[in-house]
Amino acid sequence: MTFLSRILGLVRDYFIARYFGANGLTDAFLIAFRIPNFFRRLFGEGAFSQAFVPILAEAKTNNTQAEVQNIINHIGTKFLFVLILITLITVVIAPVIIFMFAWGFYFSPDPMQFNLASDMLRITLPYLLFISLTAFSGAILNTYDQFAVPAFTPVLLNISMILSAIYLSKHMDTPIMALAWGVFFGGITQLLFQIPFLIKIKKLPKLALGDHQAIKTLKKRMLPALFGVSVSQINLLIDTMIASVLVSGSVSWLYYSDRLLELPLALIGIALATVSLAKLSQHFADKNDEKFAQTINNTLTIGLLLGLPACAGLVLLAEPLIITLFQYDQFDAFAVFQSSSSLMAYGSGLMAFIFVKILAPIFLSRGDAKTPVKVGVIAMISNVFLNVILGFYFAHVGLAIATSISALLNASLLYYYLNKQSIFNVSSNLYQTFFKALVASFIMTVFILIFGSEVELYLKADVSSRITLLGTTIVLAIIIYFASLKLLNIGIKKQ
């Protein structure tokens, strides 16, 4: 389901690139979309879900179903009121928020970009309310082992934005405003979609006034988790803020490369983290140390086996990917070069991004939010300094390099503290798996370098030929990689 939603996400970006290109207008929309998306990952899928799932898992293990429902009702009510307040305030002060997150627009000689971004932000901000409640619903479903529905839900946002780009844009004075409305309606649709499934498991939240101990526990865990699980998103937002002062199109180039990074990151890192958090929280509540350690080991093993070839693929096939997906109509060859350059920088850090997603929830499942925060703050500060230095010399590509380096620092420190606190230590089997996956990835890399089609061939080809060329290369590379793993006596089914 995650794969389906991410593929449709790429289809969505294809239409955005085709209809609107990579320019000042798309920069304005992407800022207006990224801001509520950023807060969504903090308040919804990020800090809130990571803090809420262990609480719910513990309640599910140690309390009656009536008390579990009571906890859901109280937390859901408080969350709703906070989101409504945040949404109302941010809609009123939208221009101030645009200034904070994209100050380059404000100081631009042409105020059009700043004003357009502010207008679109007022439309996209309510998405924060809808999607955060959707994430709350998804966290409940995940706790009850209903993973498919929350994973499928983003498909609805992508469909809404695609239809808006194709049809609604024709009827608007400023066509790109249609994308903002697509985000708005997509948020509503996602929330409504999950309600029947909550009813089915008899866990639909109801309004409940008053206080509850679970709310106090949530506050203690959520505030630190804002940094602990969302540092990569904060770093990406910092990239966007600095990119707004660079040449026009920089925000869009980073966006398109980030979107391709998000595909394997979601399929591997986020999907594994979502399932493992629910399982780890359950095992910790049951005091089952053996299953707790085994879950971590299995998650890291699958992350390695799938992440290493994906990392190599993003770097080696950066230009063919960007050309095949986005280089049509308004998206020119210059945009391809700039976007693929930052994709290679982001792609080189994919394994670090995946490990951050996997390792941070281990602490959170144990009720420890302080350690990920400490590590996250260090990584974020290092990212800011690296952004300034590398951004000065390498423009938007330097920003992507800085984010990858800070992710590597983040993952390294998380593992250091896991080891120091005797929570988890990499086994010899995991080291062997890493080495063998590295060998298989190297064999796959050699194949791509020797037999992969030249970039010029992609530039001259039509859309069907591009898809055929890229698809053939990827499928053969996958076959070679897994065949190599088989020869090395490694298989995902064994994990």
Condensed to tens digits (0 to 9), the pLDDT of residues 156-212 reads: 999 999 999 999 999 998 999 999 999 999 999 999 999 999 999 888 989 888 888
Alpha-carbon dihedral angle through residues 35, 36, 39, 45, given to the nearest 10 degrees: -130
69: helix, strand or coil: helix
Q: In this structure, what DSSP letter does residue 341 have?
A: H
Indicate left, alpha or beta for 86 from its phi (over 0: left) and psi (-120 to 50: alpha): alpha
Residue 232 has a pLDDT of 62
Residue 251 has a pLDDT of 80
Residue 176 has a pLDDT of 92
Which amino acid is present at 284?
F
Distance of alpha carbon 271 from alpha carbon 136, whole angstroms: 16
Distance of alpha carbon 142 from alpha carbon 144, whole angstroms: 5
Contact by Cβ (8 Å): 121, 97: yes
Distance of alpha carbon 53 from alpha carbon 469, whole angstroms: 43
**pLDDT tens across 347-378, in order?**
999 999 999 888 888 887 887 777 887 888 88
Residue 495 has a pLDDT of 43
CA angle 353, 359, 365 (to 5 degrees): 135
What pTM, to 2 d.p., does this model score?
A: 0.73
Distance of alpha carbon 360 from alpha carbon 356, whole angstroms: 6
Contact by Cβ (8 Å): 88, 128: no
- Tens digit of pLDDT per residue, the chain (495 long)? 777 888 888 889 888 888 887 777 888 898 898 888 877 766 656 667 777 877 888 888 887 888 889 888 988 898 899 889 989 998 999 999 998 888 778 777 778 889 999 999 999 999 989 988 998 898 888 888 788 888 889 899 999 999 999 999 999 989 999 999 999 999 999 999 999 999 998 889 898 888 888 888 877 777 666 665 556 667 666 777 787 777 777 888 888 888 889 888 888 887 788 777 778 877 877 777 778 888 888 888 888 899 999 999 999 999 999 998 888 777 778 888 899 999 999 999 999 999 988 888 888 788 777 788 788 888 888 988 998 899 888 888 999 999 899 999 999 999 999 888 888 888 888 888 899 999 999 999 999 998 877 888 888 888 888 999 999 999 999 999 999 999 988 755 544
Distance of alpha carbon 234 from alpha carbon 448, whole angstroms: 34
Spell out a b/e string for 344-361, using b for 16 or more CB atoms within 10 Å of the CB, else e.
bbbbbbbbbbbbbbbbbb
Residue 53 has a pLDDT of 77
Closest-CA residue to 327 (of 196, 319, 439): 319
Contact by Cβ (8 Å): 400, 346: yes
